[in-house]
Amino acid sequence: MNDRAVSLLDQYEIEVNRTWKGRGAILCDSDQGLLILKEYCGPTDKIRFQDLLLQHLRKSGTVYAESILRTREDEMIVYDQERTPYIVKTYFEGRECNHRDAQECRQAAAALARLHEASDLSAYEELRAQPVFRVEKEYEKHNRELKKVRKFLWEKSQKTDFEIYLMKHYDYFMNNALQITDELRYDAYEEDACGSSVVCHGDYQYHNILFTDAGEALINFEKCVRDHPVRDLCLFMRKLLEKNNWSQTLGDMLLESYNKVRSLTKRDYRQLYYRLAYPEKFWKIANFYYNSGKAWIPGRNMEKIERLFAQERDKQLFLENIFKL
């Protein structure tokens, strides 16, 4: 981040004691506590909805989350000389959730359930202006992209080791993606059931959960969206399970912790199954390959896809056991 961005803090009614660089941002010790100045990458009209959600969570008293500061001119977004947008938010003294610590992961799952309990914005007129995310439409788009990549690979005359390895397993994951999408499409996916009045965090993973002296603090709500609450639960579980070879013990613990605060219905479990079962990781690898330079393929891509294939049996066993297929 450009150091000149620090001058943007002058637009706020705060007294700055010192600043220092953080991860892609600038941290600020001020008379209002610890703050963070970071580039804002979302739509300009989304920031007001995000602020509405954060204010609502603060009023609920059950969720410890960040807040967006306003300038002296009552603006939430400020711009540098290159018209790059920035926002200033409260920040917290703490550390990221340790994905290797089962107890912390359980606490994070319970914090997520409290977030969903508190993030019903049905009383706000502004909610209706926000579109409801439809996961089946997203998967249909992914499937079209997967078909495009497969066609490209088939027509390519000389293939690298990575491309040969990818093609060897392509049909399995492609057919899996199509089947899951078809089942999801015909699963009576009603708007009321998908929790359209509930706003999801949108990026609930261990990087965005800080453990502080006051409890679990939730940050980085820029991707908040109207969707079924299992959107957050799916992302959180998938990230952890991929790092733990799809441990059924861990999965059971996470679901138990969430259910103690907010009970999942049978429909919730079906939605969670479909979202976990869809080969999201395979799509990401194939899509990244297709949209990047193909003259040189990073060795990390091969490592990722070998790990994906190695874990597939564990993933299918996890789905069968957890969801009693």
Q: Are 147 and 153 in contact (CB under 8 A)?
A: no
| Domain at 3-91, CATH homologous superfamily | Phosphorylase Kinase; domain 1 (3.30.200.20)
- Taking only the tens place, the pLDDT of each residue in 114-153 is 999 999 998 999 888 888 899 999 999 999 999 999 999 9
What radius of gyration, in Å, describes the C-alpha atoms of the chain?
21
Longest dimension (CA), the chain: 64
pLDDT for residue 192: 45
pLDDT for residue 11: 95
User: Distance (Å, rounded) from C-alpha 62 to C-alpha 59?
Assistant: 8
pLDDT for residue 279: 97
- Taking only the tens place, the pLDDT of each residue in 165-211 is 999 999 999 999 999 999 988 775 554 444 467 999 999 999 999 99
Q: Domain coordinates of the chain in residue numbers? A: 3-91, 102-323
* Pick among 3.40.50.300, 3.40.190.10, 3.30.110.40, 3.90.1200.10: CATH of 102-323: 3.90.1200.10
- Taking only the tens place, the pLDDT of each residue in 210-226 is 999 989 999 999 999 99
pLDDT for residue 294: 61
Sheet containing 209-212, strands listed edge to edge, beginning at the edge strand earlier in sequence: 64-65, 215-218, 209-212, 95-96
pLDDT for residue 296: 59
pLDDT for residue 193: 45
* pTM, two decimal places: 0.92
- Taking only the tens place, the pLDDT of each residue in 64-118 is 999 999 999 999 999 998 899 999 999 999 999 999 999 999 999 999 999 999 9
Residue type (1 letter), 218: L
What residue spans of the chain are helical by DSSP H? 46-60, 102-118, 135-155, 161-185, 230-243, 248-261, 266-277, 280-291, 299-323
Backbone angles phi, psi at 65, to 5 degrees: -135, 165
pLDDT for residue 191: 45
Average pLDDT over residues 27-32: 94
CB atoms within 10 A of CB 115: 28
Average pLDDT, the chain: 91
Q: In percent, how much of the chain has pLDDT > 90?
A: 77
pLDDT for residue 302: 86
Q: Are 113 and 212 in contact (CB under 8 A)?
A: no
pLDDT for residue 309: 93
